[in-house]
A and B are shown apart, each in its own frame.
Chain A
């Protein structure tokens, strides 16, 4: 069975600094996709970034980048130049050929300080 682990229940970061949110995963499937979602207090889940298991390059989307280390089964999200609006819950999730549904981690609450 698939499993996503986010070991940081909460994180603080100073505005304009970079922050890394950790995510490790466990799967026996060779083909899978990893996602990060942001959930502000309003409740909507916002898709941030995707990494496929066969992608050789780390995914980047604006200020978001995914540090994908396949051998370590980790998919950390890096947010550069943090902004106050980045304060939210962040979920790491995966889907694979063996279990065709999103499996979420427990989430990390990020607070950006001014």
Chain B
């Protein structure tokens, strides 16, 4: 049973044309993350939501935005995609954030974005 679902799996967009990637989860986890992963590199955290609190990484470009309308769903909006934004975008969830217990992150299958 899929626990973290990402749609679409493959997305092609044109240079400068806004695109939205979606993520949903059935785990009822408090935390949702968006990562960008380029070929042969480690995932790079863009931002995360702890419940409704949004946390942006300092080096995430303004071109990337996110929305979390409810516990289950989280969206990644790329306002004006450039060629350099072509990558795999991974959504992940974790049960909670704690200073005492470290919970594993569950990842979705990813959306591979192509910019033409």
Give chain A's interface residues, CB within 8 Å of chain B.
31-33, 35, 37, 42-47, 50, 52, 91, 95, 97, 100-102, 104-107
Contacts and interface: CB of A to CB of B under 8 A. Distances in A.
Contacts of B43: 45, 91, 104
Given A104-B43, A106-B42, A45 B90 contact: yes
B54 to A, nearest CB: 14
A33 B110 contact: no
A50 B109 contact: no
B99 A44 contact: no
Nearest to A32: B102
A52 to B, nearest CB: 7
Contacts of A35: 104-105
Contacts of B110: 43-44
A105 B42 CA distance: 7
B68 interface: no
Nearest to A94: B102
7 contacts: A35-B105, A43-B90, A44-B109, A44-B110, A100-B97, A101-B48, A102-B105
Contacts of B90: 43, 45
B91 to A, nearest CB: 10
B45 to A, nearest CB: 6
B108 interface: yes
B102 A33 contact: yes
B88 interface: yes
A45 B6 CA distance: 13
A102 B33 CA distance: 10
B100 interface: yes
Contact of A97 (B88, B99, B112): B99
Contact of A91 (B42, B45, B102, B106): B42
Nearest to B102: A33
B107 to A, nearest CB: 4
Q: Which 5 A-B pairs have the closest CB atoms?
A: A33-B102, A104-B42, A45-B107, A43-B110, A97-B99
